[in-house]
Amino acid sequence: MIYRITYILISVCLTITPMLSGMMNSSQESQPADPDQYHIESNSQTDNQILWSFLDITQPTVNMLKYDVLHYEINLELDFNTESISGYGKVTLKSTADNISFIDLNLGNHLTVTQVLMNDTINLNYEHLDDHILKSYLNETIDSGDQISLMVYYSGFPSNSPYLKSMHFYEELGSHVCYTHTEPYGSRFWYPCKDFPFDKADSIDVIVTHPDNYTAVSNGLMQSRVDNGDGTATTHWHSGYPIATYLITIGCTDYELYSQPWEYSPGDTLSIDHYYYPGASPEISWSSIHAMIDYTIPALETFTYWFGQYPFIDERYGHNHYGSSGMEHQTMTSIGPARNEEMLIVHECAHHWCGNKITCENFHHVWLNEGFATYAECLYQLYHYGEDSYRDLLDYYKFYDVWKLYLDNINFYHINNGIYFKGCWVMYMLHMILGDDGFRQAMHQYFNDPELAYGTAITDDLEIICEEVYGAPMDWFFDQWLYQDGNPDYYFSYIFEPNPETENYTIFVAIDQKKEWETFIMPVEIRAHTSGYDSTITVFNDERSELFAFDFPGVPDSIQIDPEEKILCQVCYEDEFTAHIVSEDPDDGYVGVPYFYEFKAVGGTPPYNWSLINGRVPYGTDFHGGSSAYINGIPTSASEFLFTLRAVDSSVPPQESEQTFTLKVLPAAPMCGDLDYDQAVNVNDIVLLINYIYLDGDVPDPIEIGDVNCDGKIRLVDVIYIVNYVFRDGLEPCHDCP
């Protein structure tokens, strides 16, 4: 195996305190939620098989890329007797290309279109195609920047949709209910739209005519309710925030309302409105209305702290009972009447930041919605219940050997536990790398970035912001966890020996990643214990097999890898510490300067038999193998030399270690006193040295060339030394520098 060694000098820490601590305390414990209860069931084979037969619904047409949706108006009458709908959907759009002669919209072909009007008055010809595309032919072409509206009159039975996610009528607990549940591609099966998350409407109006003893709820704020005098009423809802199609909702039944104010800042309140079935009222112990009332405001407080102000503060937050598990419809989260679960309320609330304010641009990156919201549950536990509850929920969501987060094939759209569980752990690991302050800063920047807020994002957008906070590229982190299956497994062993130079002990820790996954690159904590104290270092593990060495002031009685469980990984201790080469890349050499470097191995059974098995050492030098290993000679050519050594121990059977090294030979060594690098020491160098010492001039590079008498300091005596050499035939600058 090939090993690389990193040496780290550490200091002893008497205690290791947890990185995170709860900001608030509560004696109440909560049960973690199962992702199967969320709005996209993790293993719904029936749903996925149906999706498979409708591959064409997952991609926009070319025409859809040539316009931008500005507004949706949905005006429907709900007939509960026939469980049908009728009315119109109006799409206001702006062209982003020239010479557009038709507009494609998504609309299920189980619905019957009777008329399409442009700008409210002009009848258009149209085709309603088998792939659920409504193609409307314009009476004249439009160009980039032109704005038009299409009003589509239609009717039908939405529950007859060939796709499970749509509008449904059903009866439960004595209530006859109409509700919607459409993520990812089901909005087209109840209203005409461009049904892809990359194009959000700037605002919406939802107008519902319904039995006058019913209440209709939707997104945003209610604008009006008019009694029509014929047994029906018409309710108008409006939202002025950008919104994705799958987040638009209608809920209609004999709802009752429970409202509570949330004072989100001194003197400012937001109405929290819970619409519940009479058969699942607060008097019913199992009703989810209890979780809505008890946990919504604590959830909003948590995410305001971690992510910033509630994104839809000018409207409201609410819940309505509906016929599925849970769905984060914007400003009106839908919850099943029997889902009396704290974490479900918390999860869907979190989506108002991760999913609603910033929506995944496409469902390849849906982990940005679901992984975020699942980790948000953990942040909620930390905020309200403390470190132990936080860790318990993280442990519940720890699953190994899960496939990658990026969904290659969104045609099949197989949302799996990995999106929730692994996504949660990726957010947690990001938190651990950035630290509390850095993570919170990154979250506030992400959710308030003017290019992303109320729009869409892909993982690269999150990565860019995290890199700004981290201060260095993070592609090594995001690429592996997004596009790579599995997780690291760390097999480790260690050995120690006295270090006569420091009077401490040098500990050698070998880490191997043995599973079939590609190598994971991560900062890994190593903790050494001895009687009365312990010490933790962080190493950057970026090799399949790697050896780390560090000083420790005592004989270690145990070593731990990832002791705080900051990585989604499995750790296994191996008793035998096999033979390892422990040398780093050799020191640089200089042309014409004598060179010597010796290599070292530990572990296994000494002595070792060394050999050069690949590459070459610098010209003018030789590698000496056998019972020892060293390079000596005088380099004659400046270059970079790559070579691999093998050390075989005396065990039966023998153990061996291989390591590849890079040795750089630089041009002739810089002359002491030659600050202008012209291969001569003269008056120009005197001026540069005086400028550096007294006038804040350029720093010599390397700095040792300014130390012309080689006493370890650069000061006036060096100026005198070089003046004597240049003008008085004094001693030449020390030839041993640098």
Q: What is the pLDDT of residues 348-375, one digit of tens each?
A: 999 999 999 999 999 999 999 999 999 9
Least confident of 131-135, 306-310, 685-689: 685-689
What are the pLDDT digits (tens) for 399-437? 888 889 999 877 644 566 789 999 999 999 999 999 999
Q: Give the CATH number, domain containing residue 150.
A: 2.60.40.1730
Least confident of 105-119, 135-149, 153-167: 153-167
309, pLDDT greater than 60 = yes
Task: Judge whether 186 lies within some domain.
Answer: yes
Q: Tell me the whole-structure pTM to 2 decimals.
A: 0.84
What are the pLDDT digits (tens) for 263-304? 999 999 999 999 999 999 999 999 999 999 999 999 999 999
Assess whether 68 and 187 both reside in one domain: yes
Higher local confidence (pLDDT), 54 or 335: 335
The Cα–Cα gap between 460 and 558 comes to 40
Task: Judge whether 208 lies within some domain.
Answer: yes
Higher local confidence (pLDDT), 531 or 630: 630
Task: Judge whether 4 lies within some domain.
Answer: no
Per-residue pLDDT at 40: 40
Assess whether 115 and 237 both reside in one domain: yes
Inter-residue contact 536 to 507 (CB < 8 Å): no
Assess whether 379 and 335 both reside in one domain: no
Last residue of a domain, one of 254, 283, 308: 254
Higher local confidence (pLDDT), 715 or 94: 94
3, pLDDT greater than 50 = no
Assess whether 571 and 594 both reside in one domain: no
Task: Judge whether 282 lies within some domain.
Answer: yes
Distances (CA, A) of 572 to 169, 357, 383: 54, 42, 32
Per-residue pLDDT at 734: 76
Domain tally, the chain = 6
Order of strands, edge to edge, in the sheet holding 125-128?
100-106, 133-142, 125-128
What integer is the mean pLDDT of 551-574? 95
Assess whether 109 and 217 both reside in one domain: yes
φ, ψ dihedrals at 309, nearest 5°? -55, 145
Q: Give the CATH number, domain containing residue 724.
A: 1.10.1330.10
Domain ranges, residue 570? 487-577
5, pLDDT greater than 70 = no
Task: Judge whether 622 lies within some domain.
Answer: yes
Task: Judge whether 7 lies within some domain.
Answer: no
CA 267 to chain CA centroid, Å, is 36
Higher local confidence (pLDDT), 591 or 28: 591
The Cα–Cα gap between 401 and 328 comes to 29
Tokens of 97: 């290309």
Assess whether 658 and 688 both reside in one domain: no
Assess whether 420 and 447 both reside in one domain: yes
Q: Give the CATH number, domain containing residue 515.
A: 2.60.40.1840
Inter-residue contact 311 to 241 (CB < 8 Å): yes
How many other C-beta atoms are found inside a 10 Å radius of the C-beta of residue 368? 26
Q: Give the CATH number, domain containing residue 347.
A: 1.10.390.10
Side chain identity at 566, as an amino acid letter?
A: K
Higher local confidence (pLDDT), 722 or 615: 615
| Backbone CA torsion sign across 451, 454, 456, 462 | positive
Last residue of a domain, one of 528, 557, 577: 577
The Cα–Cα gap between 245 and 451 comes to 20
Task: Judge whether 392 lies within some domain.
Answer: yes
49, pLDDT greater than 60 = no
Task: Give a three-class secondary structure readout of 50-103.
Answer: HHHCCHHHHCCCCHHHHEEEEEEEEEEEEECCCCEEEEEEEEEEEECCCCEEEE
Last residue of a domain, one of 300, 332, 357: 357
Residue with tokens 């909560």: 30
**Consecutive H or E run containing 47:** helix 45-52
Assess whether 201 and 292 both reside in one domain: no
Task: Judge whether 31 lies within some domain.
Answer: no
Q: How many CA atoms lie within 13 A of 97 on its CB side?
A: 11
* Mean residue pLDDT across the chain: 90
Per-residue pLDDT at 525: 98
